[in-house]
Amino acid sequence: MSYAKEPYQTASPVHLDKKGEKWARESLKKMSLEQKIGQMFMVRTLAQFMNLNSPEYIALRDTMRKYHLGGFGLTVRFEDGFLYKNGPLEAATVINQLQKDSDFPLIFAADFEHGLGMRLNEVTDFPQAMAFGATGNLEFARQSGRITAQEARAIGVQWNWFPDADVNSNPANPIINTRSFGEDPKLVGEMAAAYIAGAHQFGMMTTAKHFPGHGNTESDSHVFVPVIKGDAAHLDAIELPPFRAAIQAGVDAVMIGHVLVPALDPDPNHVATISPAIVTGLLQQKMGFHGLVITDALDMGGLRQSFPQEGPEGAGRAAVESVKAGNDMLLLPFDLDGSYNGLLRAVRSGEISEARIDQSVLKILRAKASVGLNKAKLVDIHAVNQIVAQPASLAAAQEIADKAVTLVRDNHRVLPLRAFAKGTKLLPNPYQPVAETRNNTVLLIFTDDSRSDSGRTLDHELMARIPDARVYYIDPRVAAGMTPPVLAAVQESQAVIAAVFEFPVPGKVVRAQNGAAVNAIAVQESSATLLRQVLRSAAEKTIVVAVGSPYIAAQLPEVQTYMCTFSNGHDSELSAVKAMFGEIPMTGRLPVTIPNIAGPDAKKTGAAQDSSGGPQ
């Protein structure tokens, strides 16, 4: 059967009409218990090409049919710290095929926190949430919601696991950080609500996460069990207001975090995911949320440590306790067979009533109908290149990145830098030593892994303005060995740019100085040692650019000139270069407090905005 004979999905506003309600109720009546249980599970599928007769696709299709899955979370391959992204057409093709091979319409979700660029290439890639907080512009949040919805629906994804409603009140938070709009609960709530409104306009469901708040933690729930400190009054004033704002804005789902919250549930074995007091008592009864309640990924360490039994038994109990707590949909179980059959046995034994299952499945079916899946399952492949990555969408993302750039400190007024005039000939002699060229600008790119693409755009854009700049890529493996040449180059230079790429990486584990395993957004020690040496010898001419987490300045008390982009995307790298050369004004404001450096209300010190050029 060709796709042309099938009706295509339309990205109409999210809405459950009478026909959708009727379809949901009639579909529920037709389902067996096994089918209903399956609707409550979502597993991963990769956005990559798969031949229909390949073992990979056959296994995926057979798993979907065997367990009657309700949907899939779209992602890409992740190995050795790298995301291997593919294109939007590959995503749309595999989504269409799974829809064709499923008895019930599937709902597809994804972590498109900063647009489709979080998982795919050749799409619109917005900055991370904290960059939006730095702009203070709610229309930017609505705009990103609209554009992400248009592009997501074009490839067949109806549900975004965003916005992040966490208040990043802890600078040591290793996993929320720039994924949060900031530390002000009011701003976070307003940004989340604006995003929801924009996304709904073009048919994308939204998710407020990670309830009841993951911002005030110092550990990563992908690996550890974070503890949310503070009494009930603190939670009510800081953590919960953005979720209330999201609920009032009509958010479709709330994702429960794998966090311990003693003020809400004193049981040390009850992370929020399996806490009836938090999920049913607080979220549904006290806060009045009646939409979909979903778990964070069940394969994360923050939950698995509550179920130490290996294999099917532990997976089964995790699923059962999650449903008993009040969750409707179970995401990414670490053992699908164990989770599915454990929940099935719990219903057959009477531990969970079938009426309780019906309650969740009806919500899921209503959600599917609200995005039109009762009317059409497929997307028009031929429309993808008309909708995705439109020039206006790319320009919008770049504008937001530009407006987010924040100048925190410029004590010696080294900004703006001066670009070479076009047509300047720098090297008439191809054998001329670098030290003899006209300019001495050094770019130091600090990353966790110099093999990544972090810094490539910044490098390219700097060289377009200062063609003889010297560039060094530094990661913890090579920092010590590169120290002598880097320090020598710094001493000879007129200006130094130290671009530091630190941003949230789920499950990232490094060794602290005391040997403990941690996930921390910080410059690792060998790189930090080199950067401190640079600052001790040349702080007055060194521009430190935080391309990601703004908090890294707390490690660098010597820093004299400090800029933040709050995001590590290519657009943000370009924005940083444009800002350094005075091509755009730095209008952003800190949406968080950087310990011992500055806060949201601090005035910029020594800020030089004159675009005519400055000392190097």
List active site positions: 222, 296
Query: Which residues, at least 6 apart from 488, have a Cβ–Cβ distance to it below 8 Å?
Result: none
Tokens of 190: 């307003």
Tokens of 416: 């703006």
Consecutive H or E run containing 254: strand 253-256
For 223, the 3-state DSSP assignment is: coil
Tokens of 547: 């391309």
Query: Which residues, at least 6 apart from 444, have a Cβ–Cβ distance to it below 8 Å?
Result: 472, 474, 486, 496, 497, 498, 499, 531, 534
- Would you tell me the crossing angle of helices 354-370 and 312-325 to the nearest 10 degrees? 80
Tokens of 259: 């966090």
**Dihedrals phi, psi of 149, to nearest 5 degrees:** -65, -45
How far apart are the C-alpha atoms of 454 and 569, rounded to whole Å?
8
**Dihedrals phi, psi of 46, to nearest 5 degrees:** -90, 140
CB 43 within 8 A of CB 73: yes
How far apart are the C-alpha atoms of 255 and 293, rounded to whole Å?
6
Tokens of 181: 């709009």
CB 175 within 8 A of CB 504: yes
Consecutive H or E run containing 564: strand 561-564
- DSSP letter, residue 105: P
- DSSP letter, residue 477: T
For 358, the 3-state DSSP assignment is: helix
CB 306 within 8 A of CB 271: yes
133 C-beta neighbours (distance < 10 Å), count: 29
Strand bridging mode 406-410 / 561-564: antiparallel
- DSSP letter, residue 48: S
Tokens of 235: 């939670």
Q: Cα angle at 421 between 416 and 422, to 5 degrees?
A: 130
Consecutive H or E run containing 409: strand 406-410
Short-list 542, 520, 516, CA closest to 531: 542
How far apart are the C-alpha atoms of 111 and 442, rounded to whole Å?
36
CB 311 within 8 A of CB 338: yes
| Single-letter code of the amino acid located at 95 | I
CB 550 within 8 A of CB 577: no
How far apart are the C-alpha atoms of 571 and 502, rounded to whole Å?
16
How far apart are the C-alpha atoms of 449 and 479, rounded to whole Å?
11
For 94, the 3-state DSSP assignment is: helix
How far apart are the C-alpha atoms of 129 and 404, rounded to whole Å?
10
- CB burial of 237-252 (b: ≥16 within 10 Å; e: otherwise) equals ebbbbbbbbbbebebb
